Structure formats: C-alpha cells, structure tokens
C-alpha cells in the first residue's frame, strides 16, 4: 500500500517592514485553509516567515534587534496558526528567528524551522547550519545580507524525525546549496526534506551569478533529491520586498529529481502534490543503496538502518 502524503509548498510574497505578526499570520491562515480544502496533510512555509527579511538592515540596539525574534513558539500571535492547524488536522513547517536562552542563561539567536504535526504538537526543530552573508556593516552594498551578524550556526546539524508516516528532515535556504545537507539526512533514511528560502536575485559579490539564480536553486535541490532518493520541498519568500527582488519558483521535487509541482507567481501561492513515500525506495534500494554501495569507511559517514527498507 502506498504511503501517500499530500504536501503544500506555501510560497509567500513580500512582507513589508511595517507588517505586523498578526497580519502575516492572517496570510498564513489563508494559505493553510486553501491547503486544507485541497487535501494537504502538511503545509510548508518559507524561511523567516513571520517578518520581512530583517537581516538586510544593520541594527545596533539589542531591544530593537530582539523584536524580530520569537522567544516562544507558539507565541501570542502564532498560537492562532497552531490552533487552526489542529482543528483542520493539517500539519505545517514554519521558519522564524528564534531566541533561545540556555541553561547558563546565555542568549542565542538562531534562524530556525519547526515541524508541527496534525494535532498541533511540535515534532522537530532545526536551526540553520550554513549561515551566509556578512558579519559587519557594509553600507555601500545596494542592500545588505547580515545573517552572520544576527545568527549563530545551529549546534545540532541535520536530524530527521518519524512523522506523517515517513522520515522527515529540514534545512534552511543556504543549506540547500551544500551537498552534505542532503547526504547527512540521506544516510538517516530521509524521505522528505522541507526547505524554506529567501534568495535575493542580486548577488553583490559576483553579479554574473544573478541570471543563474533560478537555475542554481533547482539544480541543487533536484540533485540533492535524486542523489539521496528523497522528496524535497523548497519554499520561497519571493517578489520585491523593501526594494529587494527575491527568487520565487517554489517547488516539490521527486526522488527521481523531477519537479512534481511548482509555483508560477512571485506572491502568496500554494503548489500541491501527493507524494508516495514508498517511491523513494526505487532509488534508495537501487543506485543509491547506501548500505551496499556507499563508501562510508572513507568519509566517516555511516548510514542508519531504515525502517521501511524492502
């Protein structure tokens, strides 16, 4: 019997600097409702979904900085999303800026994504590992990308979770360009990787890459899917946000590397596909049978036994 899951890639259009969390959550609820009406089990939202992409501004006031972050999830404005998702029986994945205070009272700032089950419970949390951009104020750029100023890399690497009847992992934006992102999860038997992104169409360090942004976006996710026998869902915050044009082209990719569904606008839009997770085995048990063919002894990367292996 097929292990089907219907997934929605809930792309967001621009979010202005002045837009409140409540206004954004309204937009998320609308996408969630559409997803539910169209049979989704899981709706995936982009990176830093709840606000504008604030790392484009250099801020120095810690109180002002922390206003862009969530210290609890769900918080007062996001609880509505959790409650409605549980009522509808639809799970979701949400990217947001997280403040975490550790046992020693030290405050950490992460670029985070969570996976929420159909009953509203958080089953997994991932904190972005590959933090791109620059650490210092560079006001001469047309716009800044100060992720390395605001976020520290997540400490836990790439984990997977048993949820939605399959094995699910998460990655965030720049992570998708790195092959080890997929392989580390692939070796844990991942069947569905959820990736949110904010990708400006202008890349200051090397503008000749601008015209290739869409190509590179699909190239890395399609090859990551194929080389690890997994579905990949890539979800953008696209369109012109505060003067910065960002890539849309959200996609749902099969383990064959083929695109199963894609958004066609740069705004709020949901692309939906029903995925048979058992289809991963056509790749996991043949060309990419890691137990049989992967040369783990050379790389120190060991595969985990897979529950669903046939």
CA distance 221 to 231: 9
Among 78, 93, 113, 198, binds ligand CDT (CB under 6 A): 198
Nearer to ligand CDT, 131 or 261 (CB): 131
Site string for ligand CDT, 34-53 (x = CB under 6 A): -------------x------
Nearer to ligand CDT, 145 or 306 (CB): 145
Nearer to ligand CDT, 174 or 249 (CB): 174
Among 108, 118, 132, 278, binds ligand CDT (CB under 6 A): 132
Q: How far is the CB of 176 from ligand CDT (least distance, A)?
A: 7
Q: What single-letter DSSP state applies at residue 74?
A: S
Q: How far is the CB of 126 from ligand CDT (least distance, A)?
A: 14
Token pair 């783990």 is found at 296
Lookup: tokens for 293? 């063919």
Regarding 27 and contact with ligand CDT (CB under 6 A), the answer is: no
Residues numbered 47-86 forming contacts with ligand CDT, rule: CB under 6 A: 47
Regarding 226 and contact with ligand CDT (CB under 6 A), the answer is: no
CA distance 260 to 271: 9
Cα angle 54-67-34, degrees, rounded to a multiple of 5: 70
Annotation marks residue 173 as catalytic: yes
Annotation marks residue 125 as catalytic: no
CA distance 32 to 157: 29
CA distances (Å), origin 209, targets 140, 173, 177, 201: 20, 17, 14, 9
The SS3 call for residue 272 is strand
Annotation marks residue 128 as catalytic: yes
Q: Which of 40, 70, 125, 128 is an active site residue?
A: 128
Alpha-carbon Rg for the chain, nearest whole angstrom, is: 19
Q: How far is the CB of 103 from ligand CDT (least distance, A)?
A: 29
Regarding 126 and contact with ligand CDT (CB under 6 A), the answer is: no
Residue nearest to ligand CDT (CB): 173
Nearer to ligand CDT, 133 or 154 (CB): 133
CA distance 116 to 94: 8
Report the 3 state secondary structure along 157-168. Answer: CCCEEEECCEEE
The torsion angle over the Cα atoms of residues 217, 221, 224 and 230, rounded to 10 degrees, is: 180
Q: How far is the CB of 304 from ligand CDT (least distance, A)?
A: 28
Greatest alpha-carbon span in the chain: 58
Among 49, 199, 250, 266, binds ligand CDT (CB under 6 A): 199
Regarding 233 and contact with ligand CDT (CB under 6 A), the answer is: no
CA distances (Å), origin 39, targets 3, 43, 89, 106: 15, 10, 10, 43
Residues numbered 155-184 forming contacts with ligand CDT, rule: CB under 6 A: 173-174, 177
Judge whether 220 and 171 are in contact, CB under 8 Å: no
Q: How far is the CB of 56 from ligand CDT (least distance, A)?
A: 10
Element (H, E) at 123: strand 122-127
Report the residue count for the chain. 310
Regarding 11 and contact with ligand CDT (CB under 6 A), the answer is: no
Q: How far is the CB of 151 from ligand CDT (least distance, A)?
A: 10
The SS3 call for residue 275 is strand
Regarding 149 and contact with ligand CDT (CB under 6 A), the answer is: no
Q: Which of 70, 147, 173, 263 is an active site residue?
A: 173
Catalytic amino acids?
47, 128, 173
Q: Give the residues lining the site for ligand CDT (CB under 6 A).
A: 47, 132-133, 145, 173-174, 177, 197-199, 203
């Amino acid at each position: 019997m097929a292990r089907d899951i219907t997934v929605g890639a809930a792309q967001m259009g621009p979010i202005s600097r002045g837009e409140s969390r409540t206004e954004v959550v309204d937009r998320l609820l609308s996408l969630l409702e559409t997803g539910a009406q169209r049979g989704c089990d899981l709706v995936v939202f982009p990176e830093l979904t709840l606000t504008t992409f604030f790392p484009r501004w250099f801020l120095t006031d810690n109180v002002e900085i922390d206003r862009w972050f969530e210290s609890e999830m769900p918080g007062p404005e996001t609880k509505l999303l959790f409650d409605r998702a549980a009522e509808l029986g639809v799970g979701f994945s949400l990217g947001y800026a997280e403040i975490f205070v550790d046992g020693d009272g030290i405050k950490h700032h992460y670029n985070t994504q969570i996976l929420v089950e159909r009953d509203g419970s958080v089953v997994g949390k991932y904190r972005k590992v590959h933090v791109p951009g620059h650490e210092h104020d560079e006001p001469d750029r047309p716009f800044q990308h100060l992720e390395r100023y605001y976020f520290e890399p997540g400490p836990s690497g790439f984990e997977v979770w048993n949820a939605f009847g399959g094995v699910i992992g998460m990655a965030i934006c720049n992570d998708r360009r790195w092959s080890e992102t997929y392989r580390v999860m692939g070796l844990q038997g991942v069947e569905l990787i959820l990736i949110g992104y904010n990708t400006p169409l202008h890349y200051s360090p090397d503008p000749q890459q601008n015209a290739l942004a869409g190509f590179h976006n699909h190239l890395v996710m399609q090859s990551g899917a194929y080389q690890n026998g997994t579905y990949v869902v890539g979800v953008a915050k696209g369109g012109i946000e505060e003067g910065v044009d960002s890539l849309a082209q959200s996609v749902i990719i099969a383990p064959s590397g083929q695109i199963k569904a894609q958004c066609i606008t740069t705004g709020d839009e949901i692309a939906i596909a029903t995925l048979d997770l058992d289809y991963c085995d056509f790749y996991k048990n043949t060309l990419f049978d890691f137990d049989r063919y992967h040369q783990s002894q050379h790389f120190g990367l060991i595969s985990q036994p897979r529950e669903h292996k046939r």
